[in-house]
Each structure stands twice: as C-alpha cells, then as structure tokens.
Structure 1
Amino acid sequence: MPTTDPDRRHEALVREDCLRLLATTAIGRLAYTQAALPVVRPVSFSLDGDEVLIPATPGSPLLGAVRGSVVAFEADAYDAIARTGWTVTVIGPSRVLGGLPRPDLCLIAVHQGLVRGWRTCAPPLG
C-alpha cells in the first residue's frame, strides 16, 4: 500500500504511528536475499525496543540467509470492502539471537533502522 486506486487518499505515517500500528498485529513478511534472489516469507513477530523479533528454530536455513544481512520486514492491515488500510516497512540489519531459555527457539532481530508507513483512506465525504 498505497494502492493504485485513484479514489483513495494516501497519507505518509510518522515513525511513532508506524510502531503503534505494528504493535496491533502479529504476522508480517520478512524479505531477504537467498542465492542472489529475493525471498518474501510470512512470519510471526513481536516488537522489543528498537527491534522486530522473529522466532525461528535452530538449524533453520532462514537463519543463515538473514544473519548479518540488511533485510526488510513488512506488516499491514487492509479492509477489502472499505478499501482502506495501512502498511509499515522496517529496513535494517539483522542478527540471530541464540542462547534463549528455550533450546528449541532462537530469534531473528531486525533493527528498526528505516521505518516507513502509509495509510490508505477513503476520500472525505462531500
């Protein structure tokens, strides 16, 4: 988003609004490069300070693909009937956090470097 619908209004969101909206959902998309090709993968996530945290299992090929790389993370919500919604993108370096209390879990931490967002709204009435 923004959509290409000419009858919708598009507003850029400030960082604070982007982070507030991200906190309202738990599923997003992680975009990274693997074997020189772009990959987009749906992931669950949470926010912690200046990082997006994405759970992964130790030994997952995803960990090697993103460790130390600059990645993009995106989450959104859209009302198909009203044709309104929002999207937020976070771009930043990633790192893998291991040594958690659960040995079957590690986290991909994406630093909230560049945070951008858009809201698509219905035009004002009248």
Structure 2
Amino acid sequence: MYANDGFRELDRQECLALLATVPVGRIVYTRQALPAVLPVSFCLDRDGAMVVNTSASSELAGAIDGAVVALEADDLDAAAHSGWSVVAMGLATLVTDPVEHARLLRTGPLSWAPAPQEVFVRIAQGLVTGRELVGGHTVYGVRPPS
C-alpha cells in the first residue's frame, strides 16, 4: 500500500480495540465451494476471541464449525469521508461446553433475530488486519462539507 493513498495501517491492538466498539460485523465463509457473507452480531470475549451468536438450526452454524472464517467490521462516516475497517481470520468452533454456553448467554452477543435455540461460535484470534481512512480526501475534485 502506498504511503500517500489516504489510508493508515492499523496495528493488532488498534484493530482489536475497534472491533470491541461495534456489535455487528460480516462473517465470510464457504458455502457450496463459493464465498458467502452474512451479517452477524458478535463480541470480543475475555480471551480476545470473537464470539458470534446464531441459531442452532441455521446453515451458518453447521457451515463454519471447524472452518477458517473471516469476520469484517467497520465504521464509516460518509459525510466526512472517514472511517475504519478491520478483518480478523481464525478457526471457528461451536461452543459445546454447557458452563461456557451459560456464561455467553449472560455476557455474549445478543442475537438481533432471537431463535428458540441459540448457539455461540468462537472464532480464535488469528490474523487481524485493518486500515483507517484519514483526512477526508476529495472525491472527483469536491471536498466534503466541513
């Protein structure tokens, strides 16, 4: 990436701190040998892993258990032409321990579409990258309003 392209690379700690500020991201996984993307509610757990809440009967739960997935989250300000984006990749596994499941029901992410049986998927901390758009650059020669 060029130094003057308007983006600043974020380090791992900055990425994790930003992920902790948003409740919804997009999970990227493989469905029928093709890439699939779905919005999910998530949170960072005490060990730094990402935890996703979904329905036990969802296609997502079965598709990502034991697979390497990516979770992307961002925050953008269209008017100021600024924002950030973080992508975290790691191994996803269903939380099967009853004590851990009970703890996540109390402290984990809330589903925006509650299901009769919720499951939690833990995504181990792996590769984490991010970048921030800095400076509100011009678009087609027009500066954003101040």
Same topology, TM > 0.5? yes
Q: What is the TM-score normalised by the length of structure 2?
A: 0.75
Unaligned runs of 5+ in 2: 106-115, 138-146
Are 1:25 and 2:38 matched, yes or no?
no
Instruction: Give 1:8 deviation, angstroms.
Output: 6.0
Paired position in structure 2 for 1:70: 68
**Percent of residue pairs bearing the same amino acid type:** 39
Distance in 1 (alpha carbons) for counterparts of 2:57 and 2:19? 28
Aligned residues: 119
Moved over 6 A (4+): none
Paired position in structure 1 for 2:84: 86
Distance in 2 (alpha carbons) for counterparts of 1:76 and 1:115? 13
SS at match of 2:56: coil
The structure with more strand, counted as a fraction of residues: 1
Amino acid at match of 1:118: R
SS at match of 1:17: helix
Unaligned runs of 5+ in 1: none
Distance in 2 (alpha carbons) for counterparts of 1:123 and 1:45? 29
The two structures, once aligned, show a CA RMSD in angstroms of: 2.1
Distance in 2 (alpha carbons) for counterparts of 1:120 and 1:57? 35
Amino acid at match of 1:104: Q
1:81-122: CA deviation from partner (whole Å, max 9, x where unpaired) = 111000000011110113323682210111110000000011
Q: What is the TM-score normalised by the length of structure 1?
A: 0.87
The structure with more helix, counted as a fraction of residues: 2
Are 1:57 and 2:55 matched, yes or no?
yes
Decide whether the 8 Å contact of 2:49 with 2:124 is kept in 1. yes
The structure with the larger Rg is 2
